[in-house]
A = this chain, B = another copy of it.
Amino acid sequence: MAELETRELEYFVAVAEELHFGRAAACLAIAQPALSKAIRRLESRLGVKLLERSSRHVALTSAGEALLHHGRHALNAVSAAAEKARRAGDQQAHLRLVIKPGGDANLLSGILAAYAGRPDARQVDILFGGATDRADHVRDGRADVALLYAPFDDMTGLDHQTLTVEGRVAILRPDHRLASRSQVTLADLAQETLPRWKGVRWTGAPEAERGPEVTDAAEALQMIRLGRTIAILPRSLAQPMHPDLVYLPVNDAPNSELVLAWAQDDRRRLVASFVAAAVDAAGTT
């Protein structure tokens, strides 16, 4: 009844992301006509038009947007199922933790030590994920747990435990008008240019095109030093402090949380044990 093959979904997602049949086909390592036909098959099977194609541009219909969004989730779920099955039999499986380089608030060594002391400890593989895809690593089974930042990362489909709550600091150039203050408020910063963090749904704030788009703290710092933007970061992400920049606490900014996240339906002891160790270690710091 559903009758929607994962390969077709992959094809569609590729086209929907590229909005270009030729490039998408190249990504998928198939020929363009095959892709065109596959998408048409998919459309006729669903009985819905997914793409609005003029002979010059390709655009998503609303049905296409829905399928892109939910299709990504579905593909994640399928990958996760395969990955979990592959690893399920392996009793010696390593625990895979995905973090952002420098994104551990100096808690990681303590967490690993606490975990290693547990009777059921396994080897821990540490993977590095970019700003946007650590959560996806967990969703599609490439990792078991992830260190994420609330409220920045999208936690849909994940459960989590908070490890630390921390304030945020504004990072300015020394010649900024606020640089001599000892602290600032959000109101002080209301008119400032803030970077747009790639892949972060910036809910609540005006959608206006503001600062430059950046993918991580290093890029943001670069842009700050160039005077193109300022940034408000969780305190731990502001480490190490750059000597040419000014760091000021933003006392009224909503706190950010460093959380340990895992797949919502993952009830393995492997994961529970690590979570317990991490909460322990974070709590006693």
This chain: how many copies in the complex? 2
Which of B65, B85, B87, B140 interacts with A64 by CB under 8 Å?
B85
Q: From A1, which residue of chain B is reached at the shortest CB distance?
A: B79
Given contacts A5-B6, A157-B264, contact A74 B80 (CB under 8 A): yes
Which of B47, B75, B86 interacts with A86 by CB under 8 Å?
B47
- Report the Cα distance A7→B64, complex, angstroms: 22
Residues of B within 8 A of A67 (CB): 81-82, 84-85, 88
- Report the Cα distance A6→B78, complex, angstroms: 8
Pairwise interchain contact B86-A63, C-beta atoms closer than 8 A: yes
Instruction: Specify the main secondary structure of chain A where it touches its partner.
Output: helix
Residues of B within 8 A of A48 (CB): 85-86, 88-89
Q: From A66, which residue of chain B is reached at the shortest CB distance?
A: B88
Interface status of A110 (Cβ within 8 A of chain B) = no
Binary B-proximity of A248-271 (CB < 8 A = 1, otherwise 0)? 000000000000000011000000
Residues of B within 8 A of A24 (CB): none
Binary B-proximity of A56-95 (CB < 8 A = 1, otherwise 0)? 0000011111110111011111111111111111000000
Given contacts A67-B81, A81-B74, contact A46 B6 (CB under 8 A): no
- Report the Cα distance A250→B2, complex, angstroms: 45
Interface status of A49 (Cβ within 8 A of chain B) = yes
Interface status of A9 (Cβ within 8 A of chain B) = yes
Q: How far is the CB of A196 from chain B (nearest CB, A)?
A: 21
Residues of B within 8 A of A4 (CB): 6, 78-79, 81-82
- Report the Cα distance A120→B75, complex, angstroms: 33
Q: How far is the CB of A201 from chain B (nearest CB, A)?
A: 11
Interface status of A275 (Cβ within 8 A of chain B) = no
Pairwise interchain contact A77-B73, C-beta atoms closer than 8 A: yes
Q: From A67, which residue of chain B is reached at the shortest CB distance?
A: B85
Q: How far is the CB of A52 from chain B (nearest CB, A)?
A: 11
- Report the Cα distance A189→B48, complex, angstroms: 56
Interface status of A54 (Cβ within 8 A of chain B) = no
Pairwise interchain contact B264-A81, C-beta atoms closer than 8 A: no
Residues of B within 8 A of A74 (CB): 74, 77-78, 80-81
Q: Could you list 9 examples of A-B contacts with CB < 8 Å? A: A46-B85, A48-B86, A67-B82, A70-B77, A70-B265, A73-B81, A74-B74, A77-B77, A156-B264
Given contacts A48-B86, A62-B89, A63-B88, 5 further A-B contacts (CB under 8 A): A4-B81, A46-B85, A50-B85, A61-B88, A74-B80
